[in-house]
Amino acid sequence: MNAPAAAKVRVSREHARELMRQMVLIRRFEAKCAELYGQEKIRGFLHLYDGEEANAVGVMQALTPDDAIVATYREHGHALARGLPLTAVMAEMYGKATGCSHGHGGSMHLFDAAHRFYGGNAIVGGGLPLAVGLALADKLQGRARVTCCIFGDGAVAEGEFHESMNLAALWKLPVLFVCENNLYAMGTALERSESVTDLCRHAASYGIAAEVVDGMNVVDVEAAARRAAEAVRAGGGPRFLENRTYRFRAHSMFDAELYRDKAEVEAWKRRGPIVRFREWALASGTLHPDDLDAIEAEVAVAIDAAVAFAEQSPWEPVESLLRDVYAPAAAAVAAEPAAPDAAMGRRRLSYRDAVREALREALRRDARVFLMGEDVGRYGGSYACSKGLLAEFGEERIRDTPLCESGFVGAGIGAALGGMHPIVEVMTINFSLLALDQIVNNAATLRHMSGGQVALPLVIRMATGAGRQLAAQHSHSLEAWYAHVPGIRAVAPATVADARGMLRAALAEPNPVVMFEHATLYNDEDELPLAAPEVDIDHAAIRRPGRDVSLITYGGSLKKALAAAEVLAGQGIDAEVIDLRTLRPLDLPTLLGSVRRTHRAVIVDEGWRTGSLAGEIAAQLAEQAFYDLDAPVARVCSAEVPIPYPRHLERAATPQVEDIVAAAHRVLRR
């Protein structure tokens, strides 16, 4: 560190001592973690921060306790510089119950909601949309706070980087993006992975003010971070810092480090942040040798104490394994009281009208609710479910997004972290695959990986299903994919009443809910009471009682199952029809109760048979009601083919009434 660089900011003796203490603490912490890894006390992936300390320490000087941090998987330095207790961080490295994430996160997922430290993220670039959402929550609630998002140069190649840059710039969000450019994404040099190695140019292309910073100079980093944070806090929109730095150790403890030579590493070490700051501080008289010795001694004592704390801390008991998968259910939301005459009245609504009515009610009831997605505003929604809401609630709460599913779904997750209640509309289920990373790796896991520190009140709506001659890419029924994942709830309203009531109930959930609306249902109509009744999304519904066979289904197949039951009734067969409603968690008591009455089951599922939700239900019935069954469970699923375009082939590929009737006869003949 040279004098001119240091002269850019006045560094008092006290401040210099604190900067040095934090950098030394991070360096010694990492060295101890490497030692403990060799002793097999820390396991999994371990990504060390040696050489990059100036970035974490300098950036954190610019942030207030109210600001938020979203970090990458190499986040030990960020956590310590933010002020997370050393003991809690070390215990988390061990996986102990006293860790900052209660042992659920480990090295890559340090989390502390009290410090507004929203975790490291093991998915490269995965935290960028979360930061956008946290900043959006602050903007919507009028809070003058900054969200700082820290990531490596490798993330710049990810689509989520570009989607997040665009959203932050488009909506002028208070995000400070900090790219720690250490020249290597794992083992691939930046010059081999990026056609443009000046990373600031990527940010500038989105209209974001960007600055290159010497990431080996803690004072330069602090000065740049303060300038950027002040601009963000003043309403200037996002800022981007490219901190050019270097990691002295391998990518992780598994890395043989064959991609760079030792001479390169040694050259960088000679200009490392601690070396440079020490030389400047001593040469300028800001610090004395005794100060440095005292810092080393103080840090050594603290790290020894942290190791002792971690060693003595308890493991979380196995009995609590499932504890933090879901947040406890909130109290039921009572319906708006209706006048006596209104309560008795009814009106005819379509399925889409019912969805729109539930959206309108939620937006009126709770200022934290907003709707976000492609074409939900001026277009009125791809299925017209949000038509008219923009005029009533405005652009802040009916928020059109670019075509960037991962970006805006991730932003919805971040907004839920920030205290909002987002409703995110994904146009169709096939488009949701572009956001699968955010749904599975963030929405479903953040509560558990944080040790239960957060709730995620988020509803993700999407149209699903075949039947409209849209061919393979717009006819998916992938509900089983989402029903497979713990940490989210999956629901499928099959009736007009449920389209209104289940969305209302989903918004009362403190957990992420994925709602599947079968596209063939939007024009269905029914008479509903003016006063919206409560809908229980925890239980399946018996839509038709019966004694001879149970027809179990959900979503768009319910109408077909009911029609099949009518055909069977004309043949003297009394079929019971069960509407699952909730796909995760399944209401097994209702299913088992039905099978114990009828002793036969046919499961109707528009998904493909292999790996289907129908297969899961059949397995559950075989495991728990085997001796109540008088015949094997039958499944009526889509054919093992991408859904064809011609109507006759589409019909042949998907479950039809005659298929259900035939399956019922098969199980009755056994």
Q: What is the pLDDT of residues 65-115, one digit of tens each?
A: 999 999 999 999 999 999 999 999 999 999 999 999 999 999 999 999 999
User: Which of the residue ranges 163-172, 254-263, 374-383 would you say has the lowest mean pLDDT?
Assistant: 254-263
Active site residues: 405, 474
Q: Enumerate helices (H) and strands (E) in the chain, giving the number of each.
A: 27, 21
Q: Is the pLDDT of residue 186 over 90?
A: no
Residue 194 contacts by C-beta under 8 Å, 6 or more apart in sequence? Answer: 153, 156, 157
Q: How confident is the model at residue 7 (pLDDT cuts 50, 70, 90)?
A: very low
pLDDT in tens, 467-511: 888 888 998 999 999 999 999 999 999 999 999 999 999 999 999
φ, ψ (nearest 5 deg) of residue 61: -65, -25
Q: Does domain 541-669 have CATH number 3.40.50.920?
A: yes
Burial tier of 43 (Cβ tally within 10 Å: 0-12, 13-18, 19+)? middle
Q: Cα separation of 92 and 102, whole Å?
A: 7
To the nearest whole number, what is the mean pLDDT of the chain? 92
What's the rounded Cα separation, in Å, for the pair 631 and 667? 6
- The CATH classification number of 35-280 equals 3.40.50.970
Q: What percent of the chain has pLDDT over 90?
A: 84
DSSP 534: P
- How many angstroms separate the CA atoms of 45 and 212, rounded? 30
- pLDDT (tens digit, 9 = 90+) per residue, 572-582? 999 999 999 99
CATH 3.40.50.920 in the chain, residues? 541-669
pTM over 0.75: yes
CB-based burial label for 559 (10 Å; 0-12, 13-18, 19+): middle
pLDDT-derived band at 191, boundaries 50, 70, 90:
confident
- pLDDT at 255 (0 to 100): 79
H or E stretch including 602?
strand 601-608
Tokens of 617: 């239900």
| CB 272, CB 216: distance < 8 Å | yes
Q: How far apart are CA 118 and CA 123, in angstroms?
A: 14
Q: How far is CA 136 from CA 175, 239, 439, 444, 560, in A?
A: 9, 15, 18, 21, 43
Dist. CA 623–CA 595, nearest whole Å? 13
What's the pLDDT score for residue 533?
72
Q: Which CATH number fits domain 344-529: 3.40.50.970, 1.10.3720.10, 3.30.365.10, 3.10.50.40?
A: 3.40.50.970
pLDDT at 119: 87
Give Cβ neighbours of residue 454 (< 8 Å, ≥ 6 apart): 113, 417, 446, 447
Query: Are residues 374 and 403 in contact, defined by beta-carbon separation less than 8 angstroms?
Result: yes
Whether residue 309 contacts residue 90, with contact meaning beta carbons closer than 8 Å, is answered with: yes
CB distance 514 to 491 below 8 Å: yes
